[in-house]
Amino acid sequence: MITRFLWTGMGRNLRLFVLLVLAVGIVVPALNLLMPKTSAFYVPAYALQLIGKYLCYASLALAVDLVWGFCGILTLGHAAFFALGGYCMGMYLMRQIGARGVYGNPILPDFMVFLNYPELPWFWHGFNHFWFAAAMIVIVPSVLALALGWFAFRSRVTGVYLSIITQAMTFALLLAFFRNDMGFGGNNGMTDFKDILGYSVQADTTRAALCFASALALAIFLVISGAIIGSRFGTALIAVRDAESRMRFLGYRAETYKLFVFVLSAAMAGIAGALYVPQIGIINPSEFAPGNSIEAVLWVAVGGRGTLIGPVIGAFIVNFAKTYLTGALPEVWLFALGALFIVVTLFLPKGVVGLWAQLRARNLARKATAA
């Protein structure tokens, strides 16, 4: 039954796209590991890591698309869930450092030694176990999303008000995590990780595995999202997005639909963040910055909202542009990025995927008239 649920929901395009994501996830790390460095097909570690990062961002974008494209909730706080997942992973990685920190304390991370913590704060317990951290990566963002959504959706906070609330949430978290007294390393956050599951985070094989894991996670998220959207639940969800009060008068509890997707999306963002941290090597409060959440929304807009595939493409396009431009045009890249956002909202309201569909439709029409 589960498999039917998963497969029937997905359209053909989505199915192919999932395979493509998996293929990237397998081929890129494989080329890095197996090819000799001199080969033209060799993917250097640097590029591998970038693709890993893009894959994590793509998962975040997909999570944003679920709530924005299919619930109509313009979230300006999704980076907060991403960062929370990242922090959970960061805490696990910090505990794995053990006595290899600069102060050589086997229990306390360096910043705690430094801030004179007598013992590990209660909320750090358990993070030495991977299973615990893994659970927290899902639970912490979900619980926050549940609490926020529960209140907000029940009180029918909608539209821009909801956007502002989510922004206030991530801003409050940003300020909170900046505080050294919170016990999460303050502004510096956590860095200098050594091992994950016993493997060195700097080893090529670990990197390749993490890149693959990111692709796998993205593929799974795509499958789940596709299945949900294709189910009768999805039909109801889109109806809630388009005419929420009408759905209520039909007897649907609109808030539970939104809440489920919001929580699911937060969990996805959390997992994406958790995969991001060991590849990037640092997690710190700036991940909560409101600008990051807005940027994630922009990836979705660029790719095409409400399309599942679009956000993935958008995340790749924008982030690749960013990587390229910050190196190639360091002085003026913000002009280019800013202009991209303006142009996309003005001229491509449905994003790149929308444009593609439009072009194809025109092509078909031309063929039809020609025939």
DSSP 8-state assignment for residue 206: H
Residue 111 CB contacts under 8 Å (≥ 6 apart), including other chains: 180, 185, 186, 188, 190
Length of the chain: 371
Q: According to CB under 8 A, which residues from 67 to 96 bind another protein?
A: 74
> Hey, which bits of 125-245 come out as E strands?
190-191, 195-196, 199-200
Residue 56 CB contacts under 8 Å (≥ 6 apart), including other chains: 214, 272, 273, 275, 276, 279
CB closer to another protein out of 132 and 289: 289
In the list 59, 96, 142, 167, the residue contacting another protein (rule: CB under 8 A) is 167
> Hey, which bits of the chain come out as E strands?
190-191, 195-196, 199-200, 282-283
DSSP 8-state assignment for residue 101: S
Query: Are residues 273 and 140 in contact, defined by beta-carbon separation less than 8 angstroms?
Result: no
In the list 44, 205, 359, 361, the residue contacting another protein (rule: CB under 8 A) is 44
Query: Are residues 323 and 57 in contact, defined by beta-carbon separation less than 8 angstroms?
Result: no
Query: Are residues 44 and 301 in contact, defined by beta-carbon separation less than 8 angstroms?
Result: no
Q: How far apart are CA 361 and CA 369, in angstroms?
A: 12
Q: Is 163 in the site for another protein (CB under 8 A)?
A: yes
For 167, the token pair is: 């922004």
Q: According to CB under 8 A, which residues from 118 to 147 bind another protein?
A: none
Least distance in Å: CB of 277 to another protein?
Answer: 9
Three-state DSSP class for 193? coil
Q: Is 199 in the site for another protein (CB under 8 A)?
A: no
Q: Is 358 in the site for another protein (CB under 8 A)?
A: no
3-state helix, strand, coil in the chain (%, to 5): 75, 0, 20
Binding to another protein by CB under 8 A, coded x per residue (else -) over 1-40, reads xx--x--x-------xx-xx--xx--xx------------
Q: What do you get for the CA distance between the two ends of the chain, in Å?
A: 44
CB closer to another protein out of 34 and 160: 160
Q: How far is CA 276 from the centre of its chain?
A: 9
Q: Is 362 in the site for another protein (CB under 8 A)?
A: no
CB closer to another protein out of 131 and 198: 198
Q: Is 113 in the site for another protein (CB under 8 A)?
A: yes
Least distance in Å: CB of 301 to another protein?
Answer: 5
In the list 30, 130, 191, 355, the residue contacting another protein (rule: CB under 8 A) is 191
In the list 81, 87, 111, 212, the residue contacting another protein (rule: CB under 8 A) is 111
Least distance in Å: CB of 262 to another protein?
Answer: 12
Q: According to CB under 8 A, which residues from 278 to 307 bind another protein?
A: 280-282, 284, 286-287, 290, 294, 297-298, 301
In this structure, the number of other CB atoms found within 10 A of the CB of residue 334 comes to: 13
Query: Is beta strand 195-196 parallel, antiparallel or unpaired with respect to 190-191?
Result: unpaired
CB closer to another protein out of 22 and 132: 22
In the list 316, 318, 350, 351, the residue contacting another protein (rule: CB under 8 A) is 316
Q: How far is CA 358 from the centre of its chain?
A: 28
For 10, the token pair is: 């997905």
In the list 130, 323, 355, 357, the residue contacting another protein (rule: CB under 8 A) is 323
Binding segment toward another protein, per CB under 8 A, in 118-126, 137-145, 226-234, 361-369: 226-234
Binding segment toward another protein, per CB under 8 A, in 87-95, 130-138, 161-169, 265-273: 161-169
Q: Is 246 in the site for another protein (CB under 8 A)?
A: yes
In the list 139, 231, 354, 357, the residue contacting another protein (rule: CB under 8 A) is 231
DSSP 8-state assignment for residue 183: S
Least distance in Å: CB of 341 to another protein?
Answer: 3
In the list 7, 242, 362, 365, the residue contacting another protein (rule: CB under 8 A) is 242
Least distance in Å: CB of 142 to another protein?
Answer: 16
Q: Is 193 in the site for another protein (CB under 8 A)?
A: yes
